[in-house]
Amino acid sequence: MRQMNMSILQKFSRLLLVVVVLLSLSCVGRRITKANVDEVAEGMSKKQVESILGPPTELDNKDFVIMKKTTYIYRQDKDTVTIVFKDDKVTEKQSTLTD
């Protein structure tokens, strides 16, 4: 019985390691390019933006009485991409990326 528990634990540990490695590779592999920033359009939702650019490096939320403002900031090397949402829709984007 003890040997069987050890075998299950070893298999679980290996599976967990594989999952962690795959998750870390998927996060590291994503690069922000001018082409994908250009795909982001006014009126897009946060989910749509994240499907193109991935999760932001930094996030700033502000709730005002009449609107909610969220700013996504993506940093990559010396470049910065800023996406501003008002009421969860893109209203502004700025980028220092060049071709």
pLDDT value of position 26 = 46
Distance CA(9)–CA(39), nearest Å, equals 45
Q: pLDDT tens digits, residue range 13-58? A: 665 555 554 444 444 446 799 999 999 999 999 999 999 999 999 9
- pLDDT in the model for residue 50: 95
Whole-model pTM over 0.85: no
Phi, psi of 90 (to 5 degrees): -60, 130
Tokens, residue 72: 């996504």
User: Is the Cβ–Cβ distance between 83 and 92 less than 8 Å?
Assistant: yes
Angle at 88 between CA 86 and CA 93, to 5 degrees: 60
Identify the three-state secondary structure at position 72.
Answer: strand
